[in-house]
Amino acid sequence: MQDDIYRPNVAIVILNKKGDVLWCRRKNRDGWQFPQGGIDSGESPEEAVLRETKEEVGLDSSHFNILYENKEWINYEVPKARRSNYFFQKKKFIGQSQKWFLAELKCDDSLIDLHSTVPIEFDKWIWTKYWYPLGATVTFKSEAYRRALNSMLPAYTRFLKTIN
């Protein structure tokens, strides 16, 4: 799994019927990212990604289908200046260790609801091309995003063949 210095985390790349990915802007406007969040004690990565997707973008398991789960954990370090929240302050984490999921949206995107829980994580979302996030995320996450997107590429390619 991951070292004790990395917070266990999940992230999800959600695809629409055109093969574009859901890309979300953080509420404090300090960057864009895929939906992601911590794994609670006793929770599996899949349970965590279902919960986090519901909390962050309002989609439950009936709204999307998981196509792929990354086998390896992907770590990234959060710069010291950005380690202000509870998990980094109290738990002494230096970053996050993530399990990545690829999913297809099965419902209309009008069901995406960034205000489904409080506090909100995101204030805006868009559909963008698969590789766009590599150059559009905060620098400290870019290598993790590259590794995740590369690992999901075969599953993404299979998905594209089903829509063309």
Residues 6+ positions from 151 with CB-CB distance below 8 Å: 70, 71, 72, 100
Q: What's the CATH code of the domain at 36?
A: 3.90.79.10
pLDDT score at 147: 97
pLDDT score at 94: 85
Residue 65 CA, distance from chain mean position: 15
Nearest partner of 10 among 42, 41, 50, judged by Cα: 50
d(CA 36, CA 148): 13
Residue 129 CA, distance from chain mean position: 15
In a domain, 1, yes or no: no
> What are the tens digits of pLDDT across the range 101-160?
999 999 999 999 999 999 999 999 999 999 999 999 989 999 999 999 999 999 999 999
Domain that holds residue 130: 6-163
pLDDT score at 91: 65
In a domain, 154, yes or no: yes
Residues 6+ positions from 88 with CB-CB distance below 8 Å: 7, 78, 94
In a domain, 20, yes or no: yes
Residue with token string 């091309």: 129
Number of domain units in the chain: 1
Q: What percentage of the chain exceeds 90 in pLDDT? A: 81
Nearest partner of 127 among 27, 35, 54, 18, judged by Cα: 18
In a domain, 110, yes or no: yes
pTM of the predicted model as reported, rounded to 2 decimal places: 0.93
